[in-house]
Each structure stands twice: as C-alpha cells, then as structure tokens.
Structure 1
Amino acid sequence: MSRFFPTSLKARLGAGAAVLGGMTLLLAAVLWLGMAQVSQRLDAALAAERRLDQYAALSTQVSTFIVVAAEVIQTAQSPKTRVDRTDSTAQMIERSFSILRAGLDMEVAEARGLDARSRRASQSLLIARMEALFAGLRGALTSELTDVQALRGHLDRFASGFEPLLAQAVNEEKRLRTEILSGIDALRGWLVTAAAVMAALAVVLVAGAHLGLVRPLVRRLDLLGDASRRIGAEDFAVALPEGRDEIGRLQAQTNRMAATLASRADEVARDRAHLNEIIADRTCALEAANQRLERTDEDRRRFFADISHELRTPLTVILMEAQLGAKGGDFATIESRARRLSRRIDDLLRVARSETGQLALDPAAVSLPWLLQEAEAETAAELSSAGMELTREARDATVLADANWLRQVVVGLIRNAIRHARDGGTLHLGVRAVGGMGEITVTDAGPGIPPEDQARVFDRFAQGQPGSQGFGIGLALARWVVDQQGGTITVQSPADDGRGTRLVVRLPLVAG
C-alpha cells in the first residue's frame, strides 16, 4: 500500500494513527476506569457478604448466650457462676461487635458522599445500640442481683430489643448489597454506551480512509466492541486476538478484565451458596438444640417443683408424731415416717441424677386392699387429728403399678380430703375391679369443687378454691404417676347427696 501512496498515505496514516491512537487510548482509559469501578463495587459487595456472615455468626452467638443465661437465671445460680458460665460466649460476642464496628468505621472513612457516610453511620449506630443492650444484660448477670424475676426481666428486654436491631442491620446490609449490584449493572450499561460511542466516532473518522487500509482496523474494533457488549451482558467467555499495538493491548486488557470478572462472579456465587448452606445448617442445629434444651428445662422445673410437695408432707407428719411421741414416749411411728421419708429422698435423688429429670417407676403386681391399709396406716394420725371418720369397702383387685408411688398417690388424695373436707367429718375409701381395671375411690363429704374449677384441679399450681392452698402440685404429680402407668384419674363433684367430692383412680388389672 505504501508504494501507491508514499506521501499522502504516510500523512494520512500518521494523522489517522494519531487520531485512532488517541481514540484507542481514550477508550482504554474508559474501559480501565470502568473495570476499576466494577472491581471496587465487587469488593464492596463481597464486604457486604462478609458482614452478613458476621451478622449470622453474631446471631448464633447471641442465641447461645440467651440459652445459657436463661438456664443460669432459672436455676438461681450465684453471680460468680453466672459470670463463669456466660463469659466465653460474651467474649465471642464482643469480638464480633468489634469486628463489625471496625469494618463499618473503615467504610465510613472511605465512603464518598454524605448519603453513603450517613448510611454507614446508621449501621454503626445499630451496632452501638445492640452493644448497649448486651452490655446492660451482661452487667445485670455479673452484678450481685439475685432476684430471678428481675434477671429474667433483663433477659427478656435484651431478647425483645436485640432481634429487631439485628434484623434491621441485616436488612440494611442486604439493601446496600442490592444497590451495589445495581450500580454494577448501571456501570456496565455506561461502559457499553461508551464503547458504542467510541466505535461510532472511529467509523466517522476512518470513513475517508482507504478501505484496504482501514478495513483490518475496523474488523478488530468490531471484535472489541462485540466483546464489550458480551461483557456487558455478563458473558465473560471472551478470547480476543492479542497484538503489540494499542488495539492489541486493549484486547488483552479486555481479556484479562473478562477473566477477572468471570472469576469474581464465580467466587461471589460460591460464597453466596456456601453462606446459604452455613445459615441453613446453623439454623437446623440451633432449632434442634433449642428443642432439646426446652424439653430438659421443662423436666427439671417439674422435678424441682415436685420436691417441695413430696418432702413437705412427710416432714409435717414426722413433726406431729414427734410431738405426740414426746408426750407418750412412743417413737416407733417417728422412725417409720423417717424411713419412708428417706426412701422418698432416695427416689428424688435418683430423679436428680437421671438425664431426663423424670421419675423412675418400677411396675409390679400390687394388691389394692393391701395398698389401702398402707395408706390408712400412714394417714391415721392426721385423720384422728382432723376428727374425721374413715370407712372402707375393699374388694379383691390386683393391678400392675409401682407400689410405692401408687401408695403416695392414695395418701395424697386422703390428705387433700383432710385439708379441704374435714368439715364433712367422714371419708370413704373403696376398691373394686371393673371392666378390666382396678378402681380406687376416695370420697369425702366436704363442700365439693365448683364446676368451673373441676377442669383445672389437676393443673400444676391450680387451687381448688380462691384463697385456699388448693390441689397444687400434689394432684398434678398424682395424674402424671397414674398416666405413666396406663391409668386415669378423674374428679366427680358433687359426689353424693349434692355435696362432697369423689376422686377415682383406675389402673390396668394384672393379666391372668
């Protein structure tokens, strides 16, 4: 080509080269700036993903701290024990706060524009409020405060206040991440537009050039424009031919940019999938742990609530017999009561050492007439002191049950009648076999139970009448013991002649 246009071609080539070189450098600068902006925004998106991961870890740590704090509060642990039990988790939470706060402080310093700084500052404020709530709860736990209700109040305020703040912080972080990704899309469109404008200008400038000279250059520019559009459409499988001139270098930069974007996109997708897996696994594990802790906590609370009832009544009888024995010199009854109390304490200690916190029952064949005799002997002094007359009608019946606990159930029913129906003056015990079940009835002649109270007399802490000491844990435990042995316990009031109460216990008869 130089042979045909030795001078003009050089001049045109020089001018064209200068113009095209300038255009190429300008386009390279635009693309380089766009690539830098995309890289910066991708870094910001990854930072948002990392903070979401940190928020997830903080949520898990706080949930663990709440569970441990609830346990030490419910069990009325000493301040030192509370500190020992919660200190490791509290330190992890404080480290998480420190990491989040440091990252946000750095972003506040690097943010451009008042709006960006304001949003980062709002995130920092949410972190500070969460830290303040946590500091308040931890201060209460490490203080000398021993009031369980007050401590639970601190815990409830923390739990109810922390979760909305954490949710707000996570939502704000997600919104920020969405804005960043939207900004990348907008920047990509801008890059495509810039490339198209540059290509159009290049076409205008080379329109007067010889087709034989300009055509190869145009073809390379077309390839570059097509690659830019593919990158803008998130198709990073770009492989432009590279050369030593400006266009070749630009194509090489475009190849590297496409490879970088493809790598970053894959990394973001992997991180997001991994984060979702971690969140799902942690959520399932936390739910399972919470369910196990709830079951164990319920069993423990039931056990410690039942202890007071199971130990109070035998001790009362021992004290009464001790007073009578001091007058008459007969301490045999006191010894018998003490032995029974010792057996009951052994039973309760076995419960306390068990993993589930439930009573261990030992079913065997039990004669119900014999059981009534044992119950009468145990409550004889209380019946005499109350001035009540006991009648009994016992037919032969043998059931499969734990003799010791079933005796305690009957004794508890008799004592309930003594407390609530001593004005009736009489108490009737009955045993019979009916419909494959052994039936025990305890009938008093007292004032009875109002209909509206009958449905809840077996509930824990329920009271038979306002102001009385009620049926409470005794009947709740009785129902549990009977239910665990395949039986039922029901109440009927009025029982006879429009007054009184009848409690009926049914247990399966021994087969054969």
Structure 2
Amino acid sequence: MLRPAPSLKVKLGLGAFVLALAALVTAGVLVLAMQRVSDRIEASLAAEARIERYSVLSTQISTFIVIAAESIQSGIPMEQRTQRLDSVAANVTRTFARLRRDLEEAVAEAQRLGIDEQSRRATQSIGIARMEALFVSTRDAMLTSGTDRERLQGFIDTFAMGFDPLLNGVITDEVRARNAILAGIDDLRRALNLTALGVAAATVLLMGLFYIGLVRPQVSRLDLLRDAARQIGQEDFAVTLPDRPRDEIGGLFAETNRMAAALAARRDAVEFEWSRLNATIEERTEALQRANDKLAQTDENRRRFFADISHELRTPLTVILMEAQLGRKGAEAAEGCFQTIEARALRLNRRIDDLLRIARSESGQLALEFGAVDLGGVARDAAEDAAAEIASAGMTLELAEAPPLQVHGDRNWLRQVVTGLIQNAVRHARSGGRISLHVRRHDDMGIVEVIDNGPGIAEADQSRIFERFGQGTGSAKSEGFGIGLALARWVIDQHDGRISVTSPLPREAAVGPAPGTKIAVAVPLARD
C-alpha cells in the first residue's frame, strides 16, 4: 500500500522549521561574535587606560628623582627632605595601587580571552611589583636619617637606571597586547562575513527546492522569500515581507522580518563601536601631536631662558671688573670703587637668588616670609635698585612722597616685583624718558603704580603679558626673560592681592605725550 505524499502544510512547516533553525543559528553566531568583538574592544580601551596610567607614573617618578637629587645636592636637613618627598611619594604609591587594581580587573577579564592572555597579565603584575619594590627601597633610603650623601646618590642612580627598563617593558607589553586585540577584531569580522555568506547560500538553495516542490500559486510568495534571503545575504537588512495571509508561509515571512531586524541592529551596533574606536584613535593622535608641539615650545623657551640669563648677569659682572681694575690702579676714589663693587656684587647675588626662585616657583617649592612691611620703603628700595639702569638709559624716575602704609607681605619679594616693573618700563619705554612711581591707599589695599611714557601695550597683548614666556609684539619683544610679569603675578597672588595693566592712559593720568602704560600692584594692608 502506497503511503500518502506529505501535504503542503507539512512541507511548508518543515521548510519553516529549517529556516527558523538557520535563523537562530545565525543569530546565535552573531550574538557570540558581537560579544567577542565587544569584549576585545573593552579590553583595548582598558589597555589604553593602563598605558595612560603608566605615563602618569613615569611623570611622577621623574618628579621624585628630580626632587630627591636636588635635596641631596643642596644638603638640606632630613626634615625638609621628608617634607619635599612625602607628597610626591604618596602620589606614586596611589598610582601603583591603581595599577594593581587595573591588573586585577584585567586578569579577571582575560578569562574570556584565553589562558595565554591570563598568563601575560599575571606576568605583567610581576614587572609592576618589581618597579614598586625598587621605588619603596629608594623612598625608604631617602627618608632614613643618617645616610651619607654619596650613598643616597647611589640609591637615586640605581633607581633611575633600574626603573626605566622595567617601565618600558611593561608599556611595550601593554601596547603589544592592545595591537593583538585589535588584530583579533579583524579576524572575527572576516569570520562573521564568511558565516553570513554561508547562511545566504544555504537559504538560496532551500528556496530553489521549495520552488520545485510546491504548487504554482505559492511560487510568487516563495520568490519574495527568496529575494529577501538574497537581500540579507548581501547585508541589506531593510526587509519587509507581507504577513498576510497568516498561514505557514506568512509565519515564515514574519520570522524573516524579525531576523533581518536583528541583523540590522547588530550591524548598527558594530558600526557604532567602530566609529567610536576610530574617534578614540583620532583623539589620541591629536593629543599626541599637541603634546609634541608643547614639548617643542618648551625646548625653545628653555634655550631662550639660558641665553637671557647670560645677558642679565653680564652687566653687573662687567661693572665689578671695571671698578676692581680702577681700584687696583690706585684711583683717588678707590673707596667709591669698592662701594660700587660691593653694591653690584650684592645685586648680582640677588639676581642669582631671583633666578633660582624663578626656576622653583612653578613647582610650588617657593616659600614667602610674611610680615608687616612699609610699602613706601619698598618703593624707595626698588627705585634705588633700578637707579643704575635708569641712568644708563638716560631716563628719570619721579618718586612721589609716599604716605606711611603698612602692608602684610614679604618685603624682599615685594621689592623685587616693583623693581621688575621699573626695569620693564626702562626696557619698553626708554624713548619716553620718564617713569613715575606712586604709592597710595585705596580702601583696605596698599597700591604701588609704575607709570611710563612709552608707546603702550596693544589691547590684544594685554592678556598675554602675564603668561610665562609671554611677550608683546613691540620693538622690545626680544629683551628680558618673558617671565617677569608672570612671576610678579604669582607673587601678588600669594599675597591675596592683584596686579593690573592700563594702556593707553587717560591724558590726565599720563606723564608725557606718549600713550603710556600703568601697571598697578595692590596688596592687603597689615592688620593692627
């Protein structure tokens, strides 16, 4: 007895089952692949974060070495050396703690990437432990009393030579791991493409069999399904098949629609992650370029700084040598020569102290000595300090009678600020021939004003002159360090005061026909 042939419902049901199974397998493969891609992207971003952390550690270690070496060479007491190194050492210790936490998270994360990745992470933790041990031993040696200078220097040299190779090795390993992760993402993408093509080929084959085995009225509907499958195989997921009538083929159409929507969502997610990764790479590249540009500018400023130091120190040295030669020849005014030598030597010594303070000021190591200070006396001392330069430039200084004003501040630094303002006026307003120095009171502030008869400062430059190494665009641009006003602002900020520039001046406030410039320094009055 012949068995009846399977009905259309059975055939369509079987076909729907096969297609649904294929869709589920495809969706599962895609989910797994996307999860692995996501895992690798997260691992890559984590590697970038750890590389940045290593960069922070490198900067902190460099700061620690510089401060430690300076402390040894200057021979400061143990208490001061401890104060200088405590904050830097604490920062380095916190960074090591963060790196250990990062590696613990990376080891846990590496379980999804295989035993080799876990082993590499564990090996990397050994390098960090060695670096931390080397740092701890050096820090303890620096903070231990009774250690001689040569031995401390040996600790620093050993630390500097041993730490850098360890840090470079860890960073190189991290960069290599990140590159391997990115390469793995490309491999996964190629495998996903091959899987999608395989699914598309299988679907087309099934559609061909259904066309031959089913009755002609169903061919048009099956053609729609075949075309949809081909469209999906070409990674075009904008598929919308009719869901009427609600029979077996209609159910298959609905499943196909859902599959296409899922694939489209996965594709959009992958494209979004790729765009984010590309944006991150572009951002890091731009940041690196900015860092390189800033480093080049810093090097240029350093060369200019040392060139200007030689210029600033040569003048008093020349005067000292000339007066010493006159005194040795037995000049009648030998006493005056020696007085000039002494005054110039004191000035040169102050200038060297100023340069050392300038070099240290940005690291926050400069300590001001506050007390009650006569602001009028500060102005008179500053005028005396700059008298030789004023006379050499053929200029005159008008010092108005100063009222008795007691301010709260550091006398030496306030004198240097006012002297620097007068010297700036000499450099930039020499053609005007006149400088005016006023001391007055306004509310609870004592104010010193330095007014010149120069060409003034362009409005576009007034916001730059208080920046470190910032200069105007006038004819005197190349004179001086380009740090005088920046240092002056720093000193006045430490006094809770303010410094301001006005240029050009109103006619009633000017000291001559030129536009002129006024720089005013305001310091809080001393409390009774």
**TM-score category by the smaller chain?**
0.5 to 0.7
- Deviation sequence 1:195-215 (CA, Å, 0-9, x none): 222223223333221243332
Residue 179 of structure 2 corresponds to 178
Q: For residues 191 and 36 of structure 1, what CA distance do their matches in structure 2 show?
A: 12
Asked if the contact 2:237/2:264 (under 8 Å) is kept, the reply is yes
Q: For residues 285 and 202 of structure 2, what CA distance do their matches in structure 1 show?
A: 47
Q: Secondary structure at the match of 2:75?
A: coil
Task: Mark the CA change 1:339 to 1:361 in structure 2 (over 3 Å): closer, same or farther.
Answer: closer
TM-score by length of 2: 0.53
Residue 250 of structure 1 corresponds to 259
- 1:89 deviation in Å? 2.6
Asked if the contact 1:45/1:180 (under 8 Å) is kept, the reply is yes
Amino acid at match of 2:179: T
Q: For residues 171 and 179 of structure 1, what CA distance do their matches in structure 2 show?
A: 12
- 1:242 deviation in Å? 5.6
Q: For residues 296 and 126 of structure 1, what CA distance do their matches in structure 2 show?
A: 39
Any residues of structure 2 matched to 1:357-372 within 5 Å, and which?
none
Q: For residues 239 and 142 of structure 2, what CA distance do their matches in structure 1 show?
A: 68
Residue 207 of structure 2 corresponds to 206
Asked if the contact 1:38/1:187 (under 8 Å) is kept, the reply is yes
Amino acid at match of 1:174: V
Q: For residues 284 and 66 of structure 1, what CA distance do their matches in structure 2 show?
A: 25
- 1:16 deviation in Å? 0.7
Residue 143 of structure 1 corresponds to 144
- Deviation sequence 1:344-403 (CA, Å, 0-9, x none): 873454234322699x997999xxxxxxxxxxxxxxxxxxxxxxxxxxxxxxxxxxxxxx
Any residues of structure 2 matched to 1:452-471 within 5 Å, and which?
none
Q: Secondary structure at the match of 1:209?
A: helix
Task: Mark the CA change 1:149 to 1:246 in structure 2 (over 3 Å): closer, same or farther.
Answer: farther
Residue 16 of structure 1 corresponds to 15
Q: Rg: which structure is higher?
A: 1
TM-score by length of 1: 0.54
Q: For residues 361 and 123 of structure 1, what CA distance do their matches in structure 2 show?
A: 64
- 1:176 deviation in Å? 0.7
Residue 92 of structure 1 corresponds to 91
Residue 351 of structure 2 corresponds to 351
Residue 499 of structure 1 corresponds to none
- 1:264 deviation in Å? 1.6
- Deviation sequence 1:447-491 (CA, Å, 0-9, x none): xxxxxxxxxxxxxxxxxxxxxxxxxxxxxxxxxxxxxxxxxxxxx
Q: For residues 91 and 197 of structure 2, what CA distance do their matches in structure 1 show?
A: 53
Residue 37 of structure 2 corresponds to 38
- 1:245 deviation in Å? 2.4
Task: Mark the CA change 1:60 to 1:275 in structure 2 (over 3 Å): closer, same or farther.
Answer: farther
- Deviation sequence 1:56-88 (CA, Å, 0-9, x none): 222222223333333223222222222222332
Asked if the contact 1:108/1:121 (under 8 Å) is kept, the reply is yes
Residue 270 of structure 1 corresponds to 279
5+ unaligned residues in a row in structure 1: which ranges? Answer: 1-6, 228-237, 304-309, 311-334, 366-512
Task: Mark the CA change 1:223 to 1:361 in structure 2 (over 3 Å): closer, same or farther.
Answer: farther
- Deviation sequence 1:32-69 (CA, Å, 0-9, x none): 11111111111111111111222222222222333333
Task: Mark the CA change 1:357 to 1:110 in structure 2 (over 3 Å): closer, same or farther.
Answer: closer
- Deviation sequence 1:395-433 (CA, Å, 0-9, x none): xxxxxxxxxxxxxxxxxxxxxxxxxxxxxxxxxxxxxxx
Q: For residues 290 and 90 of structure 1, what CA distance do their matches in structure 2 show?
A: 27
Residue 58 of structure 2 corresponds to 59
- 1:17 deviation in Å? 0.7
Amino acid at match of 1:240: A
Task: Mark the CA change 1:354 to 1:260 in structure 2 (over 3 Å): closer, same or farther.
Answer: same
Q: For residues 55 and 62 of structure 2, what CA distance do their matches in structure 1 show?
A: 11
Match of 2:234 among 217, 226, 234: 226
- Deviation sequence 1:251-288 (CA, Å, 0-9, x none): 22222222222222222222223233334444555676
Let me know the Cα RMSD of the aligned residues.
Answer: 4.0
- 1:185 deviation in Å? 1.4
Asked if the contact 1:296/1:357 (under 8 Å) is kept, the reply is no
Asked if the contact 2:199/2:233 (under 8 Å) is kept, the reply is no
Asked if the contact 1:196/1:225 (under 8 Å) is kept, the reply is yes
Task: Mark the CA change 1:185 to 1:135 in structure 2 (over 3 Å): closer, same or farther.
Answer: same
Q: For residues 56 and 118 of structure 2, what CA distance do their matches in structure 1 show?
A: 25
Match of 2:270 among 257, 261, 272: 261
Q: For residues 24 and 216 of structure 1, what CA distance do their matches in structure 2 show?
A: 17
Amino acid at match of 2:262: Q
Q: For residues 70 and 305 of structure 2, what CA distance do their matches in structure 1 show?
A: 11
Q: For residues 105 and 256 of structure 2, what CA distance do their matches in structure 1 show?
A: 39
Asked if the contact 1:145/1:151 (under 8 Å) is kept, the reply is no
Task: Mark the CA change 1:86 to 1:274 in structure 2 (over 3 Å): closer, same or farther.
Answer: farther
- 1:128 deviation in Å? 1.0
2:115 aligned with 1:114, yes or no?
A: yes
Q: For residues 9 and 115 of structure 2, what CA distance do their matches in structure 1 show?
A: 54
Q: For residues 100 and 117 of structure 2, what CA distance do their matches in structure 1 show?
A: 16
Amino acid at match of 1:278: A
Asked if the contact 1:242/1:249 (under 8 Å) is kept, the reply is no
Task: Mark the CA change 1:131 to 1:68 in structure 2 (over 3 Å): closer, same or farther.
Answer: same
Task: Mark the CA change 1:357 to 1:50 in structure 2 (over 3 Å): closer, same or farther.
Answer: closer
Asked if the contact 2:231/2:237 (under 8 Å) is kept, the reply is no
Residue 197 of structure 2 corresponds to 196
Q: Secondary structure at the match of 1:88?
A: helix
Amino acid at match of 1:269: N
Task: Mark the CA change 1:173 to 1:36 in structure 2 (over 3 Å): closer, same or farther.
Answer: same
5+ unaligned residues in a row in structure 2: which ranges? Answer: 1-5, 212-218, 242-252, 314-319, 321-334, 359-385, 393-528
Q: For residues 282 and 83 of structure 2, what CA distance do their matches in structure 1 show?
A: 37
Amino acid at match of 1:137: T
- 1:183 deviation in Å? 1.2
2:139 aligned with 1:131, yes or no?
A: no
- Deviation sequence 1:11-47 (CA, Å, 0-9, x none): 2211111111111111111111111111111111111
Q: Secondary structure at the match of 1:77?
A: coil
Q: Alignment length, in residue pairs?
A: 322
Residue 484 of structure 2 corresponds to none
Percent identical residues: 36
